[in-house]
Amino acid sequence: MKHAAAPSSSSFIVRFLSVLLFALVATAAHADDYGDVNALLRQGKADEALAKADAYIAGKPRDPQMRFLRGVVLTEQGKQADAIAAFTQLTQDFPELPEPYNNLAALYANQSQFDKARAALEMAIKLNPSYATAHENLGDVYARLAGQSYGRAQQLEASNTTVAPKITLIRQLFTTPGSGNLPSAPADTRRPVRR
């Protein structure tokens, strides 16, 4: 095997170090942008976070991490349709990333579209079989689908005494202590990493 000869000029080393330094500074700048958007979101400044994300994406429209964060911001703002559009576009542009599928599923579950949520979670798990959050969310979706089926069975045959206890168990599973509300499937706020 041949090895490349070492350059004899010290200018090569200076150029190499300059390129390396530029790459490190550029990477740190990106990390700061992601951190800034996350910090603004944590501070409750979702409008500012969205503006910063949009400005960043205008210059780097193929960046999956910032686009993912943008979807999270839209979700936090309650802009469900826009968030669904953002995560759907991510799944089309980066079909290898499981996180956008998980977040789509959480949005669908919030809208009681459990079949869509199930399909999105199954895709996330197919892409990453060890994705624990997606597995948990899929279990929640299956339980909600079961609750719907039990409810329908009870409507069709009110005299069936085996259905009511199952409905009670599912309600207990999802009841948030003190609120009586069914929680939504958790979204994943982790940034996707392009592989």
> Are 91 and 100 contacting, i.e. CB atoms less than 8 angstroms apart?
yes
The domain covering 16-174 belongs, at the CATH homologous superfamily level, to Tetratricopeptide repeat domain (1.25.40.10)
Q: Which backbone phi and psi does 185 adopt, to 5 degrees?
A: -65, 135
pTM for the whole thing?
0.75
- Confidence class of residue 175 from pLDDT cuts 50, 70 and 90? confident
CB distance 192 to 97 below 8 Å: yes
Assigned token pair, 58: 């205008």
Residue whose token pair is 């869509």? 116
pLDDT by residue (tens digit) across 50-89? 999 999 999 999 999 999 999 999 999 999 999 999 999 9
Instruction: Express each pLDDT in 102-125 by its tens digit.
Output: 999 999 999 999 999 999 999 999
Domain residue ranges in the chain:
16-174
- Cα atoms in the 13 Å half-sphere on the side-chain side of 90: 31
Alpha carbons 37 and 53: distance in angstroms, whole number? 7
**CA angle, residues 49, 125, 94, in degrees to nearest 5:** 50
